[in-house]
Amino acid sequence: MAVLVLAEHDNRALKESTGKTVAAAREVGAPVHVLVAGANARGAAEAAAKIAGVEKVLYADDPQYAHLRAESVAALVVPLMANYDALLAPASTTGKNILPRVAALLDVMQISDVMKVVAPDTFVRPTYAGNAIQTVKSLDKKRVLTVRTTAFKAPEMTGSAPIETLAPAADPASSAFVGEDLAKSDRPELTAAKIIISGGRGMQSGENFKMLERVADKLNAAVGASRAAVDAGFVPNDYQVGQTGKVVAPELYIAVGISGAIQHLAGMKDSKVIVAINKDEEAPIFQIADYGLVADLFKAVPELEAELDKVGKMK
Amino acid sequence: MKILVPVKRVVDYNVKVRIKADGSGVDLTNVKMSMNPFDEIAVEEAIRLKEKGAATEIVAVSIGPAQAQETIRTALAMGADRGILVQCDPPPEPLAVAKLLKRIAEAEKPELIILGKQAIDDDCNQTGQMLAALLDWPQGTFAFKLEQQDGAILVTREIDGGLQTLKLKLPAIITTDLRLNEPRYASLPNIMKAKKKPIDMKTPADYGVDVSSHLEVLKVEEPAKRQGGRKVASVAELVDKLKNEAGVI
């Protein structure tokens, strides 16, 4: 069963989520090929060729692929699928945007957010904000899957697959890229960070998130937020961890002033170690926290910053 | 400009769902049902376009059991003009929903279809993109802001790491993200008025669409429980535990 993985990249570099998606693809079938559609994205294609288990990289280089518009990428992928039995992409905003478009054109019912591959046609995925875990079997001839990348381990970068250049497809031109406004930060990305410190409604203002940023900088952590903090306008939506935001599974997740709504827990409960700091000892977040501290965050967070200085340089 | 807004009846977002003892699914008996929150945002956006004079008519469509009429009534009470209910119980998979919506779009000829980005029951996040594919229309998913521009629509999208703006030729598909707007509550007079607004009753057969499942649900289980609940007394103890016991810092 030949499997195609749609790579996620920013034209210069490949995202780690691509490797993790290859890991899922290897459980679905073989050979695994990776499609890098981009503009001057040879660097990303070369990185994809190094992922262990990838047998071939298909590289389509054209300005229309610079921002991976769904209309354009779907037009490229659909005819390719004549040669493959399955298509996988990370369940990122890019994968979620493109894959259902491809699935519909193939008359396939997509399986979203695959957490586990049980068999080449059977998968485990979350529903109801992660409160009901479904095992589903696909009855379609082909599979289209988005992958919850936190559930898979990235393979080694020890491969050396050949790179085959593909001719671009005709650009549907019904959509055009106008601009983007990407958050610039020296901190790691939320979905790739080993440590995350998140704030909730208890932070009271966007200004107060600076306290979390200072702790984050000591731990090389990313800063996240609950939906309540986003809804209150404290921080942008791309900070949001939860069912409607990003799903993360870092080594350490520090929840500050977050009560622990179901929708937030759905996005972080697979973290290895969870810390909760909240002044309300009844907050549901404490039930899932490995270490709970009942305290006023405006006292505890500065103390945490000072304490981290004391214990010295973090890894 | 006519706008089509599909709305789904789902378990209310405040309800903690229970898994049926036989693992066949989620127990929906006597559970509060509401309009999918992202669909409320879609209805609100359509109404705002109408209030600005950019839209002339809003048609709310639901595909589901007979009770989905209530969901359409909610949309009508918010400000939609009329409804279409395609009766189908249980509600079909996103691919079949997209096929039904395609037929409805061909009959109604809207210039814009605004959908919620995902339903909070199956969490699929597929229907809008699938509908765009089947109609061969452009798609602006996870919308944060919409702006009309002659013959086109500018959609600013929530993407990982920030915002992206695309220009879509009309007709187009939009799916809503959380921050697009804050949906209004229907006023009592509008709820009363909505009772008089028409709802067309249809079946999948009226549209010649096969709604059979492409997926078979083998089982549904509760997520693995997390052992938590330990408390520490101070920040110093917390840092000590994280360093020496958990080894994560």
Q: Which residues of chain B are modeled with pLDDT < 70?
A: none
CA A20 to chain centre: 10
Percent of chain A with pLDDT over 70: 99
Contacts of A289 (CB under 8 A, 6+ apart): A255, A274, A275, A276, B228, B229, B230
State the smallest CA–CA distance between residue B215 and chain A in angstroms: 5
Would you say the ipTM is above 0.90? yes
Q: Do B13 and A102 touch (CB under 8 A)?
A: no
pLDDT score at B161: 82
Identity of the amino acid at B77:
A
d(CA B153, CA B143): 12
Which residues are registered as beta bridge partners of A149? none
Strand pairing class (A122-127; A116-119): antiparallel
Query: Across residues A58-68, what is the average pLDDT?
Result: 98
pLDDT score at A310: 87
Find out whether the peptide bond into A126 is cis, omega within 30 degrees of 0.
Answer: no
Note whether A249 contacts B: Cβ–Cβ < 8 A: no
d(CA A90, CA A18): 7
Q: Do A175 and B140 touch (CB under 8 A)?
A: yes
Q: Do B177 and A227 touch (CB under 8 A)?
A: no
In the block, tokens 């980005």 appear at B117
The tens digit of pLDDT for each residue in A179-230 reads 999 877 788 889 889 999 999 999 999 999 999 999 999 999 999 999 999 9
Note whether B151 contacts A: Cβ–Cβ < 8 A: no
State the smallest CA–CA distance between residue A257 and chain B in angstroms: 15
Q: Do B169 and A133 touch (CB under 8 A)?
A: no
pLDDT score at B34: 97
Burial of A207 (0-12, 13-18, 19+ CB in 10 A): exposed
State the smallest CA–CA distance between residue B198 and chain A in angstroms: 31
pLDDT score at B210: 97
d(CA B156, CA A182): 12
The structure tokens listed for B27 are 């127990």
d(CA B53, CA A56): 53
Choose the closest CB to A288 out of B125, B144, B226.
B226
Choose the closest CB to B216 out of A67, A112, A137.
A137
pLDDT for A313 beyond 70? no
pLDDT score at A191: 84
pLDDT score at A295: 97
Contacts of B13 in chain A (CB under 8 A): 263
Question: If pLDDT is split at 50, 70 and 90, which confidence band does A301 have?
Answer: very high
Contacts of B140 in chain A (CB under 8 A): 175
Helix (H) or strand (E) holding A23: helix A16-28
The tens digit of pLDDT for each residue in B145-176 reads 999 988 899 999 999 888 999 999 999 999 99
Q: Which string of b and e fits B188-204 if b means at least 16 CB within 10 Å?
A: eeeeeebeebebeebeb
Between B224 and A303, the more confident residue is: A303
Contacts of A183 in chain B (CB under 8 A): 161-162
Contacts of A315 in chain B (CB under 8 A): 249
CA B199 to chain centre: 20
Q: How many CB pairs under 8 A join A and B?
A: 263
pLDDT score at B225: 83
d(CA B105, CA A9): 35
pLDDT for A259 beyond 60? yes
pLDDT for A315 beyond 90? no
Percent of chain A with pLDDT over 90: 88
